[in-house]
Copies of this chain bind each other. A is one copy, B any other.
Amino acid sequence: MPRSRANSRERAATTARKESILSTALECFAEHGVEATTISDIQARAHCSVGSIYHHFGSKEGVAEALFISGIERLNRGMLRRLGGCQSGQECVKSVVYFYSDWSARNQKLARYLHSRDVEFSPAARERLKSIHLAYITEIYRLFAPFVENGELRVLPLETYVPLISGAIQEYTRRWLSGQGSSPARVKELFADAAWNAVKA
Could you list which residues of chain A lie within 8 angstroms of chain B, going by C-beta atoms? Answer: 33-36, 61, 112, 115-120, 126, 130, 133, 156-157, 159-160, 162-164, 166-172, 175, 178-182, 187, 190-191, 194, 197-198
Contact = CB atoms under 8 A, between A and B. Distances in A.
A178 B61 contact: no
9 contacts: A112-B119, A115-B119, A116-B120, A157-B181, A159-B175, A163-B171, A167-B167, A167-B171, A168-B168
Contact of A35 (B35, B115, B179): B35
Interface class of chain A by DSSP: helix
Contacts of A160: 172, 181, 187, 190-191
- Give the copy number: 2
A169 B167 contact: yes
Contacts of A119: 33, 112, 115-117, 178
Nearest to A160: B187
B167 A35 contact: no
A36 B198 CA distance: 40
A126 B178 contact: yes
A107 to B, nearest CB: 15
A121 to B, nearest CB: 8
A78 B117 CA distance: 25
A130 B162 contact: no
Contacts of A116: 117-120
B159 A167 contact: no
A198 B194 contact: yes
A171 B164 CA distance: 9
Interface hub of A117, A163, A197 (most chain B Cβ within 10 A):
A163
A74 to B, nearest CB: 19
Contact of A178 (B34, B118, B164, B168): B118
Given A178-B119, A181-B159, A170 B172 contact: no
